[in-house]
Every structure is written in C-alpha cells, then in structure tokens.
A and B are shown apart, each in its own frame.
Chain A
Amino acid sequence: MTDKEWEPKIVAFCCNWCSYGGADTAGMGRFQQPSSLRIIRVMCSGRIDPMHVLNAFLEGADAVLVTGCHIGDCHYVNGNYKAEVRYRFLEEMVRELGLEPERLQLNWISASEGEKFANFVRDVTAQIRQLGPSPLKPEGVN
C-alpha cells in the first residue's frame, strides 16, 4: 500500500434526529464535502457504546466522529448527556492508548446545520490527511 492510494476513512456516528438530518441538509444544500465519510445512523447519540468507537478504530477507521443533537435538544430528553459522559471518558482512553486526539471528535449538529456538518467533515479530513493512516489500521485494509 503506498501513501498515494491512501485516503482518510472516517466513521461518523450520527443520531437519527439531528446530525443525520444535518448530513442530509448538507447534501441537499450541495455543500462540498470530501467522500471520506462513512455514516452510521443510530437512533440517539446515547446509543453509542464506547465499544462501537473502539471497534471502528480496530476495523481500520482513521478517525471516528461522535455527533448528536445539541445539549438540551435530545429527542429522548437526555441521550446526548449520556453520550457526552462516555465521550469524555473515551477521549482519555484513546489518548492513553497513544492515538492522536484528533482521531476522535465530538460535535453537536442540529438538523438544519448542513453547512456546519460539511465544514466539520472537511476540517477533520484535512487534519487526518496531515496525520496519515491510523496506527491501529489492520494490515491489508486501505
């Protein structure tokens, strides 16, 4: 695998009600964004188990994005509080593992913020391109 062939592969966990809608809006608004993103839709960001994130890294994701509704806007009252508690903790764990902190990011995106979503993806992709492939990427995975 040469460096030329490598393109960042980013896994984004999006909640059904806000950030997935945000991704939709980004598409409808025709905001340019890199094709490095793989979206996994969950009903609520509170559904995101730290293990999902770690598994994504082990499967070869170069970065994992955790996104959800703005705090206070959760469709299920407090799911994103729960996501945040876990995220703060996961952040420490990923750092302790020795992965760059840029590889795991959290952002709250509402359904109308298509442009924010597109910018976020663009920023992360640029950061990851700088960092190079994830050291946890299995052999043979591009």
Chain B
Amino acid sequence: MVKVGDRLLGYATDPDVRSRGASGGLVTAVLAAALEKGLVEGVVVLKRMDEYEAIPVITDDVQEVLASGGSMHAVPVNLAKHAVGRKIAMPGKPCDVRGVIEQAKRNGVDLESTYIVGLNCGGTMHPVVTREMLVRMYEIDPEDVSGEEIEKGKLIFRTKDGEEKAIPIDDLEEAGYGRRENCRYCTVKIPTSADLACGNWGVIGELAGNATFCEVMNEKGKRLLDNAIEAGFVDVRPADEKAIAIREKVNSAMLSLGSEWKEKVFTEMPDQERLSYYMEQFADCIHCGACKEVCPVCTCGEDSKCTMFHSLADNYRMSMYHMVRLLHLSDSCIGCGQCSDVCPVDIPVTSIFRRFADPAQKKRNYEPGMDLTRPPFLEVMLK
C-alpha cells in the first residue's frame, strides 16, 4: 500500500509495455489497470497517426490503452475537454491537468470520478514547425523519422535506417524552432495538482529510461496506484534521496530558464503602442472561433455566445468576441498555447491573452489550475 506524499520509482510488469513506454510504461499500466478493474469507464489515449499527428480518443479497450504507450513531443493537443461529463482516467501534461482543475472549479468536470495521471513536461513542439525544423536544421526528410527523444537538453531524432541526430534545444530555439513559444515560458513543469505526478526526471543509474518517478499527490492517486499494484500491472519501490534531489534540480533549472524566456517574450510596450498592437493583431481575425473551441478552460461549452458577438456591421475597432475572451481568460488562462496553434491567420493569441492574464493573476497571487481551494477571482467573495 502506498501513502499520500510517497515518492516512488515504478515500472510496468509487462516487459512489452515497459519497453514501449517512454520511461518504464508506468503511466500506461496504471491507466490500463484503472480500466481493467472498473475504476473508470474509459481512458483518454492518443491514437497515433504518424510521428506528427495523433487523435485523442476515449477507449474502453484495455489492449488499446496498453498499446498507446510512448510520448510524442510534436503533438501538442490538450486533453482537458475530453474529461467533461465523463468518468474517465487520463494522462496529462501540466496544462492538461490545470485545464481539468479549472473545468472542475466551474463545475464542468466531476473530479471525484476523474483520475488524472500527470506527466512532467519540459515543452512540446508544433507539428508543422517540427517538420520544417527537420528539413532545415536536421536535414532529415520528415517522413523518415521513426522516433524522437529529449535528453540532456538535446532533441534527438532517429531515422528509419537507425541513424540519430542530436541538436541542443537552445540552438534550435535560437533559430526560431524547438518548443512552442508558450512552453518556453511555462511556469509549471511538474503537475502537482494531478493525482499522480509522474516523469523520468530523477530516474538514474540502471533504471534510467525504463522506470518512472512517481509522486502520489492525493487520495485518488493512492487509489489509482494501489489498484495498479494489486492488479499486478506495476511494480514500485521507494525513490532514494538522490533521485528526489535530481528531480528538484531539473525542475528548478527548467523554471529559471522559463522565467528568462518570459522576460524575452513579454517586453514592455508603451500605452499608445499597446492599443494599436492589439488592434493590428486582432484585425486579421476571421472569426472562425477555433481558439475558443480548443480552449481547455472555456467552460461555456457549446452554449457559448461569444462567437456570436461579432458582426461586420458593427464597424468596431476591436471585435467584441476578443473582449469577451480576454475577460473570461484573465482569471483562468493557463497559457497552454492551444489557441495560437490552431489560429488559421497566425495571430499570437496566447501571448496576447497572457499579457492580460499574467499581471492580473500575479496581483491576486492566483495560479489557475493548481489549487482547488481558491475560487476563480472574478467570483465575488462576500464577507
């Protein structure tokens, strides 16, 4: 039996799952066990199309869950909205997890019946940019790639003929490739608001590459892991001091790098310029509503009216739609970058939303998606 707060090293007992998973297949096995033992009705998995494309699907087939192991850094989907109204278990990057928590705060998700296995995340890449990067920087045909990996600050691509090429991520980002912009300045690398916080940071020595560091964050995480151990899907052992220290070290190194990026991206703009910058950027908008559609924290769902607020006849300098989005996101934006990814006219939506949300959230010491006890700050607290 594990305890809340335990820090463990674990791996899947099935050798096949263990080798397919990015680091020991613990997450895959835990999710499969939850489904097998009836803890949940479905599991959200990424159905792999190719190296750059995967579709999130909700499956009730244990074999499909077991077959879904392995991470894909070039598929930056957000899974939070798949948890709405369902009894499922899901893996998630910190932004997925924060999305679910924000949904739960607004009664979109019932956390009692939703299990979240958080994954450490140092950043994801945009599929289109990745393809371009492969051609320009790696001189590899994107179709020849058979796998990718991030190790010691280097991004490694393997080709089908077994060749490997590694380039430091810093160099890639210098050239405008690498991680998505919002990932560079992301402030949460370990999803401490999930039920289990897993990742390969802190796994060293003989276990490196085939075990997962796992922290039990709450009662639900304990239930999830106990269930997997009882079902014989995973094996765990306590992590030693060294592993814990290394995980912390990686985390703080990532965070300090993130805050450097933050200063680089969010340069101060004088008032007058700021307004014309926003108007200019939003002028390109074709009002497709995609940024709202993918937004993991938008709880209006299908009933949302914000997309109807735009009319060309209005002749406004800025669309009412963006105003509503700015308002709604100021207290909930987690900076996941989905909106920028899907924007068909390449408006830097995420960085604009962050410009509004960041100071407001900082002022109220409010970090969305991290703490269930704090209500959204627009919710009026009466004495």
* Interface positions of A (Cβ within 8 A of B): 50-51, 54-55, 58-59, 78, 81-82, 85-86, 89, 92-93, 95-100, 135-140
In contact, B360 and A58 (Cβ under 8 angstroms)? no
In the complex, what residues of B have CB within 8 A of residue A82's CB? Answer: 380
Cα distance, A29 to B356, chains bound together (Å): 43
Cα distance, A96 to B357, chains bound together (Å): 10
B355 is an interface residue with CB less than 8 A from chain A: yes
Residue among B275, B277, B278 with most chain A CB within 10 A? B275
In contact, A93 and B327 (Cβ under 8 angstroms)? yes
In the complex, what residues of A have CB within 8 A of residue B276's CB? Answer: 98, 135
In contact, B382 and A54 (Cβ under 8 angstroms)? no
Cα distance, A97 to B359, chains bound together (Å): 13
Provided the pairs A86-B378, A92-B360, A96-B356 are in contact, do residues A58 and B271 lie with their beta carbons within 8 angstroms? no
State which residues 345-369 of B face A: CB under 8 Å: 355-356, 359-360, 363
State which residues 306-360 of B face A: CB under 8 Å: 314-318, 320, 323-324, 326-327, 330-331, 355-356, 359-360
In the complex, what residues of A have CB within 8 A of residue B318's CB? Answer: 58, 136
Apart from the given pairs A58-B323, A138-B316, 8 other A-B contacts in the complex at a CB distance below 8 Å: A50-B327, A51-B320, A51-B324, A51-B327, A54-B327, A58-B317, A95-B271, A96-B274
In the complex, what residues of A have CB within 8 A of residue B363's CB? Answer: 92
**What is the minimal beta-carbon distance from A60 to any residue of chain B, in angstroms?**
9
Cα distance, A140 to B377, chains bound together (Å): 38
Cα distance, A140 to B381, chains bound together (Å): 42
A-B contact list, 16 entries, CB within 8 Å: A54-B323, A54-B327, A58-B318, A58-B320, A78-B382, A81-B380, A92-B363, A93-B360, A95-B271, A98-B272, A98-B276, A135-B275, A135-B276, A135-B317, A138-B314, A138-B315
In contact, A93 and B317 (Cβ under 8 angstroms)? no
B206 is an interface residue with CB less than 8 A from chain A: no
Q: Which of B273, B278, B317, B331 contacts A137 (CB 8 A)?
A: B317
* Interface positions of B (Cβ within 8 A of A): 271-278, 314-318, 320, 323-324, 326-327, 330-331, 355-356, 359-360, 363, 377-378, 380-382
Cα distance, A55 to B321, chains bound together (Å): 10
Closest to B364 in A: A89
Count contacts between A and B, CB distance < 8 Å. Answer: 72
Cα distance, A93 to B377, chains bound together (Å): 14
In the complex, what residues of B have CB within 8 A of residue A93's CB? Answer: 326-327, 330, 356, 360
Cα distance, A58 to B320, chains bound together (Å): 8
Cα distance, A123 to B378, chains bound together (Å): 30
Residue among A55, A97, A99 with most chain B CB within 10 A? A97
**What is the minimal beta-carbon distance from A31 to any residue of chain B, in angstroms?**
34
In contact, B273 and A98 (Cβ under 8 angstroms)? yes
Provided the pairs A78-B382, A89-B378 are in contact, do residues A97 and B320 lie with their beta carbons within 8 angstroms? no
Closest to A141 in B: B315
Q: Which of B317, B324, B377 contacts A136 (CB 8 A)?
A: B317
Cα distance, A99 to B330, chains bound together (Å): 17
Cα distance, A59 to B273, chains bound together (Å): 21
In the complex, what residues of A have CB within 8 A of residue B272's CB? Answer: 98, 135
**What is the minimal beta-carbon distance from B193 to any residue of chain A, in angstroms?**
24
In the complex, what residues of A have CB within 8 A of residue B274's CB? Answer: 96-98
Cα distance, A51 to B355, chains bound together (Å): 19
In the complex, what residues of A have CB within 8 A of residue B326's CB? Answer: 93
Q: Which of B271, B273, B314 contacts A100 (CB 8 A)?
A: B271
In the complex, what residues of B have CB within 8 A of residue A78's CB? Answer: 382
In the complex, what residues of B have CB within 8 A of residue A51's CB? Answer: 320, 323-324, 327
Q: Which of A54, A85, A100, A140 contacts B378 (CB 8 A)?
A: A85
**What is the minimal beta-carbon distance from B314 to any residue of chain A, in angstroms?**
7
**What is the minimal beta-carbon distance from A133 to any residue of chain B, in angstroms?**
12
Q: Which of B277, B315, B380 contacts A85 (CB 8 A)?
A: B380
Cα distance, A78 to B276, chains bound together (Å): 38
Provided the pairs A82-B380, A89-B330 are in contact, do residues A97 and B315 lie with their beta carbons within 8 angstroms? no
